[in-house]
Amino acid sequence: MDLYTIFKFLHVITAIAWVGGGLTLLAAHMIALKVEGEPAAFKVLDVMNLLGKAWFVPTSFLTVIFGAITATFGGMWGDLWVILGLAGFASTFFTGLLIIEPTGRRIGAAMAEGRVDEAQAAGKKLMQVVRFDYTVMLVVIIDMVFKPNWTDFVTIAIMGAIVAAGAVAFLGNGFGRQPAAT
């Protein structure tokens, strides 16, 4: 076994921990919301808050570090799929760090202060961002599996269409707009 294979394995394992953990929480939130309503969904958001810096930041960093080492051993730094994977990582990492985590903390504070309506509204908007974030992660996974090169226009177009559709579906339906006064 060579170092390339060892670091590729570590890259995949940490990616599973990162993406799989988040996907499990997203599914738990949707199921809790459907089965038990808003209070149960907020319990899942509390778990997301707890795991943010303790789980998702370390596993995402390890994923990119092991991926970078693998790309170095494999001589892949000029490959389009590596560049796209890094762009996707940067997008989801900074979305988590700059939007998801601080918004989750604000929601928790609002709930603790009894501002339930405000917390629920913010939670709904946050979950729109989370769903789009996981659309981007899906495209990163597609990128890692199909490994498009500079001439794979169809694969690149499909990946772009998925991101655009996710943006429309999850961010384009009222994200950021205030409800009209009645």
Rounded CA gap, 115 and 177, in Å? 20
- pLDDT-derived band at 182, boundaries 50, 70, 90: very low
Rounded CA gap, 113 and 174, in Å? 26
pLDDT at 93 over 50: yes
Rounded CA gap, 57 and 64, in Å? 11
Q: How far is CA 116 from CA 122, 138, 178, in A?
A: 10, 32, 17
Rounded CA gap, 90 and 88, in Å? 5
Query: Alpha helix (H) ranges present in 116-174?
Result: 116-146, 153-166
At residue 134, the pLDDT reads 93
pLDDT at 7 over 70: yes
Does pTM surpass 0.75? yes
pLDDT at 180 over 50: no
First vs last Cα of the chain: how many Å apart?
Answer: 67
Rounded CA gap, 120 and 71, in Å? 43
